[in-house]
Structure 1
């Protein structure tokens, strides 16, 4: 038996025991397969077959955070599960949590959620004819979904970190220093621009922080589910609107919102659903800052190495070369304000 087959069989058996123990009903894990994608998580698709029928589910195994690691903190698996449940209760289409893994399950940290059928590949969402109706609706839907996320009650979510723009800038500055690129002219200028344009205090709300095309499950009718909640925090709600407009995540689509829609439609839907005005200058700041963060992330990927010092992979090296694209976008966003000074 191959090592991969042995791992898959062991995972299936551990899942079976965990699901049977929580549900009180025995069953069988079938069609278990590893899904691609995700920088750190291991994601598995499978069917849980029991007396109640066949239930398609997803297992995500999430590495425990490294104490003292630089960068934006990520949620523990149990906290992410609790957050997704709270978001669903507030009306946002987060995954439905079926099970949170415990130490006795032998699968590490993670959770099991209901499978949601649909497309996540950004290029298909913004280009394929089968999603034409969805694209016409998605800017409005995203405005309504973000309004739901931002009204999630914070009191039960005491585990969430609160990050100010200055704190987040400091974290990314530290990540850049670890890369040894602090003397890179475009990166240094971008860091300084963000520092000089840090906004003042804002309303605090739950912020997804990575709400974008690629983290949405989309069907022909529009958005079905919002994925990847692990870097959610308490912060400025305008951040989510800025991230959604990032050109790097438009996948070649024409719409400024995620490659599929218009800003004014997004803003109008958000204001109608939330009762709060959209601060366009703050959205522009977060769009610019998010370009800097993605540029630093590209640099880190491009410089990643194996234990022997060799480049980690050709794929990561190729991602590193894309650093210039978000830096150009940041400078383009900064230009109107710079020209009026």
Structure 2
């Protein structure tokens, strides 16, 4: 049953039965899913007797990893984000039930429906059959992102999201600089990049729900199209172009740098999908800035992931290896921030 179920299988079965209005729930399989460096995802097969969910239910239980990144949301907040996205028509796994107290598994979790498809970035960028073709898939992803951006403040259900006081870009610059200032090693290239981002920061524009990790690897697809937008733990109120730049940044193309939309297909097809759904043009002149920001942000996160392994008490090969992407990201930053941009 896996470590999740150590002495807690019956408690989870009882909890699920109460949520489902069932006579009995029996867990026939629990297995940890791959990926999820920040959180843990467990595939759960539940045989349900009685009630409206009678039959076999394929679920995912999403809970905390042993340690995490400070800026990521807790499970109650992420559950609210899933619900807001689901209600806005975004293709996400349906969020079902939240256990926020940690009484069942010893830590908070929520259950959602399990979806089928492929999320692994190195597979998605190489399989031309996924999503109905390259241009079709990136256009569909553009439409998904536009639906996310229809969620706008104020929202009582998302009251835990802080409203940026000024420019979201400058807020990130300040956050990253503060973290680097407290880090035990100097990173002059990242400092250079932060100064470039500070000097070229755009004015505050529209504020929308920004997914903040909308990229190949967090997007489940099959041969028919998009089956789910995953991993909402970094979402915030922010500039919509931050998500566009994150998806298109060179660091998230999984080796297929000629395909500028997530390593999958052409950038313009992605833009067209976004614009057709939103009814508003994208400011293409500003996307480059947010690609530089994405590269900087990923470098900071990579360093933070390594800190979890070195100092955070979580011995994990994936976390340890993440820091090795930083030199490549630094080269990208230097290349992108030449004097003429």
Offset from partner CA, 1:5-64 (integer Å, 9 cap, x none)? 575253432221111112221211111111232223121101111131111000011369
Match of 1:81 in 2: 79
Match of 1:339 in 2: 340
Equivalent residue of 1:211, what SS? coil
User: Are the equivalent residues in 2 in contact too, given 1:101–1:107 (CA < 8 A)?
Assistant: no
Match of 1:145 in 2: 144
- Counting only pairs closer than 5 Å after superposition, residues 1-341 of structure 1 correspond to structure 2 as 8-25=5-22, 26-51=24-49, 52-62=54-64, 73-103=71-101, 104-131=103-130, 133-154=132-153, 155-156=155-156, 157-163=158-164, 164-182=168-186, 184-253=187-256, 254-302=258-306, 306=310, 312=315, 315-335=318-338, 338-339=339-340
Farther off after superposition, 209-218 or 137-146? 137-146
CA distance in 1, matches of 2:97, 2:326: 38
Check 1:199–1:64 CA distance in 2 against 1; reply closer, same or farther (3 A cut). Answer: farther
Check 1:119–1:170 CA distance in 2 against 1; reply closer, same or farther (3 A cut). Answer: same
Alpha-carbon RMSD across the aligned residues, in angstroms, is: 2.6
- TM superposition score normalised by structure 1: 0.88
User: Are the equivalent residues in 2 in contact too, given 1:123–1:251 (CA < 8 A)?
Assistant: yes
Question: How far apart are 1:304 and its partner, in Å?
Answer: 5.2
Question: How far apart are 1:313 and its partner, in Å?
Answer: 5.4
User: Are the equivalent residues in 2 in contact too, given 1:135–1:222 (CA < 8 A)?
Assistant: no
Equivalent residue of 1:10, what SS? coil
Question: How far apart are 1:169 and its partner, in Å?
Answer: 1.5
CA distance in 1, matches of 2:280, 2:55: 44
Farther off after superposition, 209-218 or 21-30? 21-30
User: Are the equivalent residues in 2 in contact too, given 1:134–1:223 (CA < 8 A)?
Assistant: no
CA distance in 2, matches of 1:260, 1:91: 23
Question: How far apart are 1:96 and its partner, in Å?
Answer: 0.5
Question: How far apart are 1:126 and its partner, in Å?
Answer: 0.8
User: Are the equivalent residues in 2 in contact too, given 1:87–1:94 (CA < 8 A)?
Assistant: yes
Equivalent residue of 1:28, what SS? strand
Offset from partner CA, 1:177-227 (integer Å, 9 cap, x none)? 232334x33122111111111111110111101000000011012211000
Farther off after superposition, 275-284 or 208-217? 275-284
Question: How far apart are 1:85 and its partner, in Å?
Answer: 1.2
Question: How far apart are 1:287 and its partner, in Å?
Answer: 0.8
Equivalent residue of 1:54, what SS? strand
Length, aligned pairs only? 329
Question: How far apart are 1:317 and its partner, in Å?
Answer: 4.1
CA distance in 1, matches of 2:319, 2:65: 20
Unaligned runs of 5+ in 2: none
Equivalent residue of 1:98, what SS? strand
Equivalent residue of 1:234, what SS? strand
